[in-house]
Structure 1
């Protein structure tokens, strides 16, 4: 593909990194409950970010992640301890990245590569450093710098400012349909990484491309 794209900007959680890789640690601490905890934890994490944005009560993603974990444990009537919380929060800073990620990023090094996440820097930078992928990125952009969660236009506007490019020169990638809709609404080119084979969001904002994993984006190089 003859592409005018100058930068590839990646969402992090669910796109590059498997958020449900924490279920192993959850299972270790709460046998037989790992998958349930992991899925509810992620669900509430997103919900709390959206609710706080709508209510004008911003808090950092690390605090939201901790609150979501507490909710999940309370829902399943599981014992909470500070030690278990610290262990599970540490697991969230050591998520596994998807198998194809390193190879694809390496192929795209001739373009500007950035991550753009709702994760606060105390989560985001630690995760990417621990993964060994940090040298592959030119920018690590967090919404915490402007206290505006995706999918607000202000959040994408901040990311564009950091990149110093035009909207149409950026390809934004996310596994989250709501994030893709937000980025498309802002004016980015978009590629939905539909890892779970989900239906399209009914928001009248379709992505430019849909791929089952990030291997497909090399056609934009």
Structure 2
């Protein structure tokens, strides 16, 4: 195995960020997909603006604020489901291939970790709900640094903890901007391009691009 540590972004990479709305789509209304998309967009936007301003609020607070904004921007969706959606976010579904891929990497002797903007409580809940408590060697939240990815110090948390050089770490994320940040830091990066989005950040290209985590084992 060429990489001793495999690090995964959580939301959008391991956990399906749209699962919460999808479960209640019929009741929420015909624009539920739009609601979910805006919720995610604003959640990320707020993390970047908070980091740039130096005014930190944890990811759960941003998630709640983003949902409020999403409902304001997509007003024909049923607001009575707001709390239901927030509750569901603590126990998001994993993508179908996730358990098998993580198990295979673990059996090959890799150390596994999560590196996420999520708050410690959010990540603990998500990992427990997915039955993956014993899978990960470490779950890193940005919370101790009070900044969000792609700040370089976030990625440094991993290499410092495991006492490895960046190139010994394989970093997987569905977020292209996250991959750009990890690439700049020096990690081997694998963009999980589930949405088949166009390439961006051409000066910070990933080592590989996959449509799901399934190809990660063959990649080595």
Same fold (TM over 0.5): yes
Equivalent runs, 1:1-221 vs 2, <5 Å: 3-27=1-25, 29-77=27-75, 78=77, 80=79, 84-109=81-106, 110-221=109-220
Deviation, 1:12, is: 0.8
The answer as to whether partners of 1:114 and 1:140 remain within 8 angstroms in 2 is yes
Q: How many Å apart are 1:76 and its aligned residue?
A: 1.9
Give distance in 1, aligned partners of 2:63 and 2:162. 27
* Distance in 2, Cα, partners of 1:156 & 1:205: 15
1:125-171 deviation line (CA, Å, top 9, x unaligned): 10111111221111111011211210010111122222222211100
Taking the aligned partners of 2:79 and 2:13, their CA distance within structure 1 comes to 29
**TM-score (norm. length: structure 2):** 0.93
Structure 2 stretches lacking a partner, 5+ long: none
Stretch moving more, 29-38 or 87-96: 29-38
Further displaced range: 17-26 or 120-129: 17-26
Shift of 1:203: 4.3
The size of the alignment, in residue pairs, is 217
CA deviations over 1:51-90 (Å, ceiling 9, x no partner):
1111111110000000000001111225646xx4332111
Mean Cα displacement is larger for which, 23-32 or 55-64?
23-32
**CA distance in structure 2 between the partners assigned to 1:79 and 1:24 by the alignment:** 14
Counterpart Cα distance in 2 of 1:189 and 1:95: 27
Normalising to structure 1: TM-score of the pair?
0.93
CA–CA separation in structure 1 for the residues paired with 2:84 and 2:129: 16
Q: RMSD between aligned alpha carbons?
A: 1.5
Check conservation: 2:191, 2:209, Cα contact below 8 A. Answer: yes
How many Å apart are 1:93 and its aligned residue? 1.2
Alpha-carbon offset, residue 32 of structure 1: 2.1
